[in-house]
Amino acid sequence: MVKINENYLKLPGSYLFSEVARRIAAYTAAHPQARITKLSIGDVTRPLVPAVIEAMHRAVDEMGTAEGFHGYGPEQGYPFLREAIARHDYAARGMDVKPEEIFVSDGAKSDCGNIGDIFGADNTVAVCDPVYPVYVDTNAMAGRAGDYVEELGKWNKLIYMPCVEANGFSPEPPSEKADLIYLCFPNNPTGATATREQLKVWVDYANANGSVILYDSAYEAFITRPDVPHSIFEIEGARTCAIEFRSFSKTAGFTGNRCAYTVVPMELERGGAKLNSLWNRRQTTKFNGVPYIVQRGAEAVYTPQGRAQIMENIAYYQRNAQVIREGLTAAGLECFGGVDAPYIWLKTPNGMGSWEFFDLVLDQANVATTPGAGFGPSGEGYIRLTAFGDAGDTVQAVDRIREMLRRG
Ligand code: MLT
């Protein structure tokens, strides 16, 4: 009889965003007249920019010719895209990342989950709390998280690093030794950022302990303040202890187009092996690359027109973040994030539970959010709102929440 991966049986309920979608669907079915504004999952709403569309059209035409046809591409991504990424995202900011250290993929979510393939099952894993659920669930699937303790809302083998108001939602290294450390800045879900000094503490910790930092910087394009680091590789020593994940999803509206990349520096070695070689082995075995057409679209993001056009979209979302942050703060709610990130982390009023406030806002204001408790125990008492909605809808959603609060 075949044996299943029993770790899957330990996973609680469904994936957070599926559960939120299920509850929204159930509410809509029961209230067909309700017009729900979704500020829940962080999915973009602005269309792809003209430079990307033009590049993809050209690539489609090429694919229809014998000379321009592309079959399987390099699993790591086409050189034209890896070189553009190295030049624009790293060299332009003073970082030395080589094209061969960049692995183009179909998403930061997949890479954050798949990276676990190259690490042993007995590594200790540290995550922020609250946390993007992919880091937790994929480690649970791989057997690195132990058992889920329902009463605590935690896995017994994971190291949870509380990210709370008192520490500015930015954790310090734990007292236990952590082998794999997931950090995400600008943070999903709190919208917090880390300073260079804070990241340096992590880099020194990882180098001293032989740990690896898995740094998710999918939201770096939303940074507005000049002193906030965009990449872990801005920090001295990171090349011997960190892997970085980035994505075109939120930066260039590629959630439906699928393109991202992961940087594994050549100097990063553990157990006598280069992690770059291990990841290359994993990708070449299990992944066939991102479509040529999509990679040409991603390349266009780095042209002067493409850059200007995507920055307009990012500014649009940043204005939404400001509308949410300022509108709800003025209504007496406590809001965090939303300055260097597309997420606003809102404290529920009167100590109300996350799911309770989620239900209330859905029912009374017809706004869908994400309950903070779904991101981990320290998320209890918060909800997350995203700035990726339509601008008019966002203004109305904020007005409806304010009106709900006025009604009491
Ligand atoms: C989120 O809402 O946290 C993100 O959209 C999820 C993702 O990027 O996978």
User: Per residue in 302-327, pLDDT tens?
Assistant: 999 999 999 999 999 999 999 999 99
Residue whose CB lies within 8 A of the most ligand 1 atoms, among 17, 106, 182, 382, for a mutation test: 17
Contact 242, 213 (CB under 8 A): yes
* Helices and strands: H and E segment counts in the chain: 13, 17
Two tokens, residue 73: 């591409």
- Cα(67) to ligand 1 centroid in Å equals 39
Ligand 1 touching residue 369 (CB < 6 A): no
- Cα(44) to ligand 1 centroid in Å equals 10
Residue 233 predicted with pLDDT over 90: yes
Phi and psi based region of residue 375 (left: phi greater than 0; alpha: psi -120 to 50; beta: remaining)? alpha
How many other CB atoms are there within 10 angstroms of residue 90's CB atom?
Answer: 22
Residue 15 predicted with pLDDT over 90: no
- Cα(342) to ligand 1 centroid in Å equals 11
C-alpha 136/C-alpha 139 separation (Å) is 5
Contact 358, 370 (CB under 8 A): yes
Residue whose CB lies within 8 A of the most ligand 1 atoms, among 18, 128, 132, for a mutation test: 132
Ligand 1 touching residue 41 (CB < 6 A): yes
Residue 408 predicted with pLDDT over 90: no
Look up the CATH number of domain 52-304. 3.40.640.10
- Cα(108) to ligand 1 centroid in Å equals 10
Ligand 1 touching residue 43 (CB < 6 A): yes
- Helices marked H in 115-161 — which ranges? 133-141
Instruction: Give DSSP secondary structure letters for 270-288.
Output: ETTEEHHHHHHHHHHHH--
Residue 238 predicted with pLDDT over 90: yes
Summarize the confidence of residues 275-291 as an average pLDDT.
98
% of the chain residues with pLDDT over 90 = 98
Summarize the confidence of residues 100-121 as an average pLDDT.
98
- Nearest CA to 344 out of 361, 369, 375, 381 is that of 369
| Nearest residue (CA) to ligand 1, atom 6 | 42
Q: Which CATH superfamily is domain 7-47+306-407 in?
A: Aspartate Aminotransferase, domain 1 (3.90.1150.10)
Residue 140 predicted with pLDDT over 90: yes
Residue whose CB lies within 8 A of the most ligand 1 atoms, among 38, 39, 41, for a mutation test: 41
Residue 14 predicted with pLDDT over 90: no
Residue 12 predicted with pLDDT over 90: no
Torsion of CA 36, 39, 40, 45, to 10 degrees: 100
Residue whose CB lies within 8 A of the most ligand 1 atoms, among 19, 43, 220, 317, for a mutation test: 43
Q: Do domains 7-47+306-407 and 52-304 have the same CATH topology?
A: no
Residues 6+ apart with CB under 8 A from 30: none
- Nearest CA to 126 out of 186, 188, 166, 175 is that of 175
Ligand 1 touching residue 82 (CB < 6 A): no
Radius of gyration of the CA atoms of the chain, in A: 21
- Cα(355) to ligand 1 centroid in Å equals 18
Domain ranges in the chain are 7-47+306-407, 52-304
DSSP 113: H
What tens digit of pLDDT does each residue of 167-225 get?
999 999 999 999 999 999 999 999 999 999 999 999 999 999 999 999 999 999 999 99
| Nearest residue (CA) to ligand 1, atom 4 | 42
| Nearest residue (CA) to ligand 1, atom 9 | 109
